[in-house]
Structure 1
Amino acid sequence: MTSPSANVTDVVFDFCGVLIDWQTRACLEGRYPQVVVDRICADNDPCGFYDYEDRMDHGEDFEAIYPDVVREQGEEIAEIFRDYIERYGDALPRMIPDMEQLLRDLKAAGYGVWGLTNWSHETFHFAFERFPQLGELLQGTVVSGVEKMHKPNADIYELALSRFNLRPESSVFFDDTAKNVTGAQAVGMHAFRFTNAGQARRDLKSLGMDF
């Protein structure tokens, strides 16, 4: 086992879009008419799925949000949203290619490996149920919906650093969303916008990490 870099000791990963492929469409296709699925999954979020999920990621309970879904979208879309939340594991079709190996390589080299995610406390369990290797590899995870804190606000990064006993200057954070990368940098962490596992390896090696 090699020794960690003197400068960087720990790597913190976002989940969806970094460790796990999250696809709303994968949960809905084949169960609902394609035109309905296409509308729900459109970038401008006409049915509000991503907005309602964001509220859940902030810590709101599904049952508190559901009446708003009925009122704003109607019963049919609301029931599809309920089905989506209940079958959320189907929206997680795979881990991002080569990310499991990256985590294994980092751990084998002596680096700490952690999670920090904006995710509902009601659906986060699907991540570890679908991909139990994450429970094996990650040494701890901070979940926004549990803590009622949310990236990119400073408090959730500071909580993760404190809980995991990390120093910001010796920690690296990966997220696929630019504002969340900026949030991590604002509290003193190294941070990169994630595109793929190969680029993540190059980013880490640019900091002098040896793995």
Structure 2
Amino acid sequence: MAIKNIIFDFGGVVMDWNPRYFFKDYFNDDEKMEYFLKNITTDEWNIEQDRGRTLAEGTAVQVANFPEWEKEIRAYYDNWTTMLKSEIADNVAVLRKLEYSEYELFGLTNWSAETFPYALENYDFFSIFKGKIVVSGTEKLIKPNPEIWHVLLNRYQIKAEESVFIDDNFKNIEVAKSLGFICIHIKEDTDLEKELRDLGIEF
């Protein structure tokens, strides 16, 4: 079946986001920073904001759990834009080429509904998707829950087997494959343009 659609995850694919970009200077102590990120503002905690919990509620929950870290916890979302360092240039260059191809482009991202608008406003390449973006925080669903892929498929009336899904998270890739998507797993050394051309995509 011919490929008609290309679906991009955002963080780690087209956006370079990492809390260390802020906290490295904030702590000026790598060991303390890593302890804080691993044990206090954990991935599991951050994911709940991506699932739709408000930043204020998420902050309050963690301040209640770790009152001795209140200042640092509050600094997390107060300085979130510093953590969003830049676009990932090579992959964004591929996206820009695809804009003028025959393929429909979509976004499927785990991202807080409160912080995503900042990225939309400050990085022009998001306009390439023409609004065809499914954001976990808005849907109250998060990858790797298969339901969020179904939201995308149903909303835009597309088929998994006609779609390439690009993500840097292996669990998400596994679920997408099980749903019938053709997948590209982004790693540090992935050449996205080559991977797409190897699938027969011309642009």
TM-score by length of 2: 0.89
One-letter amino acid matched to 1:123: T
Q: How does 1:74-153 map to 2 (within 5 A)?
A: 74-75=67-68, 77-134=69-126, 136-139=127-130, 140-153=132-145
Contact 1:15-1:115 within 8 A present in 2 as well: yes
Is the aligned partner of 1:47 residue 2:35? Answer: no
Contact 2:136-2:142 within 8 A present in 1 as well: yes
Q: In structure 1, how many angstroms separate the alpha carbons of the residues matched to 2:190 and 2:41?
A: 34
Distance 1:43 1:185, change over 3 A: farther
Q: 148-157 or 79-88: which moved more?
A: 79-88
Deviations 1:57-110 (CA, angstroms, capped at 9, x unpaired): 1111122222321122224x3332322213312111111121222112112122
| Residue 44 of structure 1: how far off its partner (Å) | 7.1
Distance 1:43 1:172, change over 3 A: farther
Q: In structure 2, how many angstroms separate the alpha carbons of the residues matched to 1:142 and 1:104?
A: 19
From 194, 199, 203, the equivalent of 2:195 is 203
One-letter amino acid matched to 1:34: N
Is the aligned partner of 1:178 residue 2:173? Answer: no
Q: In structure 2, how many angstroms separate the alpha carbons of the residues matched to 1:107 and 1:197?
A: 23
Where does structure 1 lack aligned partners over 5 or more consecutive residues? 1-5
Aligned to 1:3: none
From 4, 28, 31, the equivalent of 1:9 is 4
From 46, 59, 62, the equivalent of 1:66 is 59
Across the aligned residues of Structure 1 and Structure 2, the Cα RMSD in angstroms comes to 2.1
Q: In structure 1, how many angstroms separate the alpha carbons of the residues matched to 2:81 and 2:40?
A: 20
TM-score by length of 1: 0.86
Contact 1:99-1:197 within 8 A present in 2 as well: no
Distance 1:129 1:33, change over 3 A: same
Where does structure 2 lack aligned partners over 5 or more consecutive residues? none
